Amino acid sequence: METEAVRESMKKEAYNPYLPSWEYIPDGEPYVFGDRVYVYGSHDFYNGYVFCMGDYVCWSAPVDDPGSWRCEGVIYRKTADPLNREGKMNLYAPDVTVGPDGRYYLYYVLDKVSVVSVAVCDTPAGEYSFYGYVHYEDGVRLGERPGDEPQFDPGVLTEGKDTWLYTGFCGQGDRSRTGAMCTLLGEDMLTVRQAPRIVAPGCEYSDGTGYEGHAFFEAPSIRRRGDVYYLIYSSQVMHELCYATCDRPDGSFTYGGVIISNCDLHIDTYKPAEQPMAYGANNHGSIVRIGEKWYIFYHRHTNGTWYSRQGCAEEISFREDGGIPQVEMTSCGLNGGPLKGEGEHPAYLACNLFTDEPSVYVGDDRFPKIVQEGRDGDEEEGYLANMKDSATAGFKYFDCRNVRSISVTARGYIDGAFEIRTAWDGEVVATLPVAFTNVWETYTADVELPDGVYAFYITYRGGGVAGLKSFTLGCGAAK
One of 27, 240, 314, 328 is an active-site residue; which one?
Answer: 27
Rounded Cα distance between 4 and 18, Å, is: 24
- Provide the pLDDT for residue 1: 46
**264: Cβ contacts below 8 Å, ≥ 6 apart:** 271, 276, 277, 278, 328, 329, 352
- Provide the pLDDT for residue 254: 98
Nearest 5°: the CA angle 376, 381, 382 is: 80
Tens digit of each residue's pLDDT (9 = 90 or more) over 313-323: 999 999 999 99
Omega prior to 201 cis, within 30 of 0: no
Tens digit of each residue's pLDDT (9 = 90 or more) over 302-359: 999 999 999 999 999 999 999 999 999 999 999 999 999 999 999 999 999 999 999 9
Omega prior to 166 cis, within 30 of 0: no
What average pLDDT score do residues 151-157 get? 98
Are the CB atoms for 202 and 178 separated by under 8 Å?
A: yes
What average pLDDT score do residues 380-405 get? 98
- Provide the pLDDT for residue 364: 84
Rounded Cα distance between 436 and 59, Å, is: 40
Are the CB atoms for 393 and 418 separated by under 8 Å?
A: no
Are the CB atoms for 228 and 322 separated by under 8 Å?
A: yes
According to CATH, where is 2.60.120.260 located in the chain? Answer: 340-475
Please report which confidence band the pLDDT of residue 111 belongs to, taking 50, 70 and 90 as the band edges.
very high
* Averaged confidence pLDDT in the chain: 96
| Bridge partners, 56 (sequence order) | 76
**147: Cβ contacts below 8 Å, ≥ 6 apart:** none
What average pLDDT score do residues 422-428 get? 97
Active-site residue, 389 included: no
Class of the domain covering 18-335: mainly beta
Whether 477 has a pLDDT exceeding 80, the answer reads: no
* Strands of 309-316's sheet in order across: 286-290, 293-301, 309-316
Rounded Cα distance between 163 and 173, Å, is: 32
Please report which confidence band the pLDDT of residue 115 belongs to, taking 50, 70 and 90 as the band edges.
very high
According to CATH, where is 2.115.10.20 located in the chain? Answer: 18-335
One of 23, 218, 240, 328 is an active-site residue; which one?
Answer: 218
What average pLDDT score do residues 87-99 get? 98
Rounded Cα distance between 404 and 411, Å, is: 24
Tens digit of each residue's pLDDT (9 = 90 or more) over 36-48: 999 999 999 999 9
Rounded Cα distance between 179 and 218, Å, is: 9
Rounded Cα distance between 246 and 375, Å, is: 45
Q: What pTM, to 2 d.p., does this model score?
A: 0.97
Are the CB atoms for 164 and 182 separated by under 8 Å?
A: yes
Are the CB atoms for 108 and 192 separated by under 8 Å?
A: no
* Strands of 228-235's sheet in order across: 216-225, 228-235, 240-246, 254-261
What is the percentage of the chain residues whose pLDDT exceeds 90?
96
**202: Cβ contacts below 8 Å, ≥ 6 apart:** 168, 170, 177, 178, 179, 180, 215, 216, 217, 236
Name residue 447's amino acid. Answer: V
Rounded Cα distance between 443 and 464, Å, is: 17
* Residue 150 DSSP symbol: P
- Backbone dihedral angles phi then psi of residue 80, each to the nearest 5 degrees: -75, -20
CATH superfamily, domain at 340-475: Galactose-binding domain-like (2.60.120.260)
Are the CB atoms for 244 and 201 separated by under 8 Å?
A: no
- Backbone dihedral angles phi then psi of residue 418, each to the nearest 5 degrees: -100, 130
Rounded Cα distance between 67 and 14, Å, is: 4
Please report which confidence band the pLDDT of residue 11 belongs to, taking 50, 70 and 90 as the band edges.
confident
